[in-house]
Amino acid sequence: MLVKYSKQVILVFAATLLSAVSFSVRAELYVTIIEGLGGEPVFEENFHNQSQTLADASVTLTDADKVALFRGENATRANLLAHFESRSAIMNENDRAAIYLIGHGSFDGEEYKFNIPGLDITTDDILNILGSLPGQNHFLLNTSSTSGALLEPLEGESRILVTATRSGNEKNATVFGEYFVEALSSEDADLNKNNNISIEEAFGYAQRQVEEYFESQGQLATEHSEIIGDGAAQFTLARINPVVISQENPRIAELQEQLLDIDQQIESLQLRRPELSNQEYIEQLQALILQSATINEEIDQIRGEDLAE
Amino acid sequence: MIATLHKSISRLAQLGACSAIASTILFAVPAQAREHLFGALDNENLLNCENFYWTGQSVEANACYMNIIRTVNPPEIQAEAMWALGDLYTADELLEQAAQLNPDNAMILVRTGELYMRTYQYQDAYNFFSQALEVDPDNAWAHIGAAEALSTGNNGEEINAHLEAVQTHFASPPGARLRAMLMSINSVMERDLYDEARDLLDQAWDFVEDEDLPTIHLNALEAALAFVTRITDQVQDYIDAALSESPGYGDAYAIPGYFASITRRYAESGEFYQRAVEVEPKHWTAHLELGQNYLRLNKIDEGIRHVEISYEGDGFNPKTLNMMRLLDTFSENFVDLTFPDPPEGDGIPKLVLRLDRNEVNVITPYARELAEASMATFEERYNFPAKEPVVVEIFPNHEDFVVRSIGMPGVGILGVTFGYLFAMDSPTGHPDETYHWGTTLWHEMAHVYTVEASEHGVPRWYSEGISVYEEWNTGPIPGIKIPAYVLSFMAEGAFLPVAELDNGFMRPTYDEQVIVSYMQAGLIFQFISEEYGHEKIVEMLYQFVEGTDEVTAIETALEISENEFDRHFKQYIDIKFGPLLSNLQIWQQDLQATRQAYAAGDWEEAIAAANRAIFTFPDYVEQDSPYIAKALAHSQLEQDDLKFETLETFWHLGGYSARALKELADEYIAREQKAEAIEVFRDIHYVDPFDEATHGKLGDIYIELGRTEAALMEYQVGLALNPLDQATANYRIAAAYKALNDNAQAMEYLMTALDIAPQFRPAQQLLLELSRSEMNTQN
């Protein structure tokens, strides 16, 4: 069933989504979530929860009509190919795609397949889909067993690929996907405390949780996740604690706008760091963050007063 | 043949391959540059050269060997000359030619075997001796060669068969018989059977006089025996006697040096080896042993110099190659930290921690705390203040540690004490949960005091026993801990009489006997302490300074005979462990039932079986302890209080499974029992110090309790572990510095945190505080 989401009023608080892209061009994120066959009730429920959580997390960042979820009888190869064909027509060179494969996979030593009703999606299908989308640096997450078989075919492509396993030989059902999805709403995963979860942060979080999982079970790890491609730190997948612009207090709204501006200045300063001495950099950074801290303090005070009233 | 030798040499040159022959040369007696022929060959030209060599006329000897090469001589004789001159490859080629020309000549095969012994290729050597015996089954030289090749391993029966063949065959040459005698004397001395060695030496003296054989080897062994039996005024006399016969005979010193080393008298061993290389500068093995000895005594530069000399002279020795590699690691990766810093009083530090650069910031606080606490404890308990700084080396790579300790990799030890220096594995070297590195440090530090207080005279079992006893009574996790399999051996009556206990360590007859002996030795001191008082243990320890044997020490201090002691100890074991040992099978069945029920997800049955096992043996807290399974089963049933109680009991009894303790620490935090949480975290760090989360949690508790300096230390360790969340790690340190009024340091860490996470609200707030504080100061 293809699910669409109603639009929510969310302020994109910092331009971190596509920070490498010029701010003058509006870049959109298109998300496709493909829930594969579970085979057993426990996996079906698990995959269902993961894909649902992914969809919820994605709409914290992009318009709901840009988030597509395929599951059950709708997740057929024909439907998917048609979906990506239409996406390639809509997207432009500045847009990015995030594609999530949540399910089981198989690898016979030569070809990887992602298991869906009817004909499976093959490595060639995935290569063709990614190749057909306008723009570059699209993101593909594959949480299935044997998903590492995709690493070699996609190596060298200007894509970011995350797989739950490091090769096609790791064939046990994986737990990586569960933790990757969990990361998209976890403050623990937000290492730079900017309320955005990047691919790099989600990957790091999931990888650590998988290690702890196997350690706590007293088992040797049967899966080792991998990431390839550049720009994983700059590619945001979800926003936690999204800041909703104040509709009731104009002063707070004004201050929030100022914060947005300061955040952009900080980001710009960080990009210019190689041009500055360390002292210059730290001084300028400190000044900007002091402004930000002062504004945040004022917002807190106003909110405290509002509550008191 | 040549291809084989080349191949083997190139294999040796690949350091990683050395472990393949690791266990084979551990007990090799030091060899000297040229082995005595003992009459094995009768070529007059060669014997003439040998005579020059063995009477210290090295220039004449070299000229003589050169003359053999330049003139017409059989290839096997030319090979001997090449060998003597140091060209082992050509010697090998010539012996191969000789063997092709004389396929029925067993002596050519024997000498080829000896050449391979010289290059440490013991299996190849043994094969040549075996081939020689196929040609000539009664060849005594082949038998003695085979015995020596086998002695590098653990083949007692085969060795004895070969030696017997030499001794009993009527045609065995006197020189071969003498070699067999020398082997036997070495063997009994290595087993500390000094009375037997005395008898064998007396027989050997009679024999060499009757047969007019050289006496240098016997004099060297006499010097060694005099040394180990502390008849010190005779040592130099025997050495001088050997040197008067052969002035360049370095083994006159090296053989006593070897026995000093294996009896852990490293200072004297070094002195012997130093004299050995002075007498015989090309005694490469002596250089290696001297180098290793210097390293044990913390004289690193001298140690490196002699190992390098050994390597230059004898690139075949895998032990030397391993040491060279280790020395690279040492100089590149290790750093020394001295404490107190700066030193107090006499200006000499009391403690030196030698740690890997990558671990120094994590291990140092805990290692220092434990080392200083143990030193204070043992100084008081054994009335012995350390007279030199104690050096603690902690190796993240287990094989490096083993090479540093005994020269060759592939041995499963955790720590080795040489005197004031000991080396041990870091927890990185043992990633599993069974390695409690804090206990190992405590154990080794106890050795420092028992070895030094007894002036290196303490028997092995005695020193090990005290270390185990101290683990149980004063160590970081007190309580008698005996592995389950040792209990099985105890139930079978496997303990040795006290007079034979050293054999359990030095010459075990079954796989588990070393650990069984550790436990027995520990229990002996537990028994003495409980029945006679700890002071008797100390009293006996000091008797070893005078060379008293352990039986005499026991009989003197405890005023009971050796047999009475064994009988009383058995009674003690029966009383203390009798009920458990008689129910051991039932306990093991309950333990097994616990595991099976847990694996099957039958939580109630797992708890019931664990309760039965705990009832029988409540103190068992090893990694397969029923407490752990019980706590997990309670967790599955969401019986949080019962889970907590189980983990708490486990911890109180000395359980140290890091995973279980982490759960317990979190429970204590949730229950606001901060003091207990602190103690549990500290225990965790002696098993698993590399978990950043535990340092953060412990630091947070310290902050809450106002113990900011302790918190700062934990936060710094956490940051040293390179956590994923660098922003939080830096922020925590900044906050701690702020609390300690060190605003400059606070700002440095804070800006690092904010550079990573500019929108990190707590860090922003701290920046505001620091900034306002600065403004107030300026105003």
Secondary structure of B205-221 as H, E, C letters? HHHHHHHCCCCHHHHHH
CA distance A114 to chain B (A): 32
Phi–psi pair at B563, nearest 5 degrees: -65, -40
Fold assignment, A29-239: Rossmann fold (3.40.50)
Nearest beta carbon to residue B767 from set A208, A266, A293:
A293
Cite the DSSP H helix spans in B153-231. Answer: 156-168, 174-190, 194-211, 216-228
DSSP string of B69-89, one letter each residue: HHS---HHHHHHHHHHHT-HH
* Interface of chain B toward chain A, CB-CB under 8 angstroms: 659, 724-727, 751, 754-761, 763-765, 767-768, 771
d(CA B203, CA B191): 19
CB contact under 8 A, A191 and B724: yes
Contact at 8 Å (CB) between A106 and A127?
A: no
**DSSP-derived pairing of the beta strands A29-35 and A67-70:** parallel
More confident residue, A171 or A217: A171
**Dihedral, CA of residue B448, residue B454, residue B460 and residue B462, to nearest 10:** -100
pLDDT of residue B192: 84
Contact at 8 Å (CB) between B95 and B108?
A: yes
Q: For residue A5, how many other CB atoms are within 10 A of its CB?
A: 17
Look up residue A40 and give its two tokens: 């057993």
Using DSSP, state whether A112 is helix, strand or coil. Answer: strand
- ipTM over 0.85? The verdict is no
> Averaged in consecutive runs of 10 residues, what is the pLDDT profile of chain B (779 residues)?
31 28 28 76 94 91 94 94 92 95 95 94 94 96 95 82 91 94 94 92 96 95 95 95 94 96 90 96 94 91 93 89 88 92 82 95 94 97 96 93 79 88 91 86 97 93 96 93 93 94 88 94 97 96 91 93 96 94 94 95 96 95 93 95 97 93 96 97 93 94 96 96 93 96 96 94 96 82
Contact at 8 Å (CB) between B654 and B479?
A: yes
In terms of Cβ atoms closer than 10 Å to its own Cβ (0-12, 13-18, 19+), residue A96 is buried
pLDDT of residue A288: 97
- Give B-chain residues touching A296 at CB under 8 angstroms: 761, 764
Nearest residue in A to B729, CA atom: A191
Band (A24; pLDDT cuts 50, 70, 90):
very low
d(CA B429, CA B405): 15
Cite the DSSP H helix spans in chain A. Answer: 41-58, 77-90, 123-132, 151-154, 176-183, 199-217, 250-271, 278-308
Q: For residue A92, is pLDDT > 80? A: yes
How many A-B residue pairs are in contact by the CB < 8 A criterion?
62
pLDDT of residue B331: 83
Contact at 8 Å (CB) between A51 and A35?
A: yes
Look up residue B437 and give its two tokens: 């590195």
Band (A243; pLDDT cuts 50, 70, 90):
low
pLDDT of residue B434: 80
Contact at 8 Å (CB) between A213 and A175?
A: yes
Q: For residue A89, is pLDDT > 50? A: yes
Q: What is the pLDDT of residues B380-408, one digit of tens each?
A: 999 999 999 999 999 999 888 888 887 77
CA distance B768 to chain A (A): 6
CA distance A138 to chain B (A): 25
Question: In the block, which residue shows the tokens 């004909």?
Answer: A119
d(CA A38, CA B551): 72
Instruction: Compute CA distances A196 → A234, B2, B624, B729, whole Å.
Output: 10, 69, 43, 19
Domain B317-453 architecture: 3-Layer(aba) Sandwich (3.40)
Nearest beta carbon to residue A193 from set B659, B759, B765:
B759
pLDDT of residue B410: 65
CB contact under 8 A, B758 and A194: yes
CA distance B756 to chain A (A): 6
Q: What is the DSSP letter of B498?
A: G
CB contact under 8 A, B724 and A205: yes
Instruction: Compute CA distances A246 → A11, A63, A257, B209, whole Å.
Output: 10, 20, 10, 110
Q: Domains of chain B: which residue ranges?
A: 215-314, 317-453, 479-577
- Asked if A266 reaches chain B (Cβ–Cβ under 8 Å), the answer is yes
More confident residue, A17 or B409: B409
Interface of A with B in 26-45 (CB under 8 A): none
Using DSSP, state whether B610 is helix, strand or coil. Answer: helix
Domain B215-314 architecture: Alpha Horseshoe (1.25)
Look up residue A8 and give its two tokens: 């929510």
d(CA B404, CA B330): 10
d(CA A306, CA B401): 66
d(CA B398, CA B428): 8
- Give A-chain residues touching B723 at CB under 8 angstroms: none
- Give B-chain residues touching A191 at CB under 8 angstroms: 724-727, 756-757
Interface of A with B in 288-307 (CB under 8 A): 288-290, 292-294, 296-297
CB contact under 8 A, B724 and A208: yes
Band (A21; pLDDT cuts 50, 70, 90):
very low
CA distance A105 to chain B (A): 28
Q: Domains of chain A: which residue ranges?
A: 29-239, 250-308
Nearest beta carbon to residue B767 from set A14, A193, A290:
A290
Instruction: Compute the C-alpha angle B514/B423/B440, nearest 5°.
Output: 55
- Give A-chain residues touching B768 at CB under 8 angstroms: 290, 293-294, 297
d(CA B97, CA B724): 66
Q: What is the DSSP letter of B29?
A: P
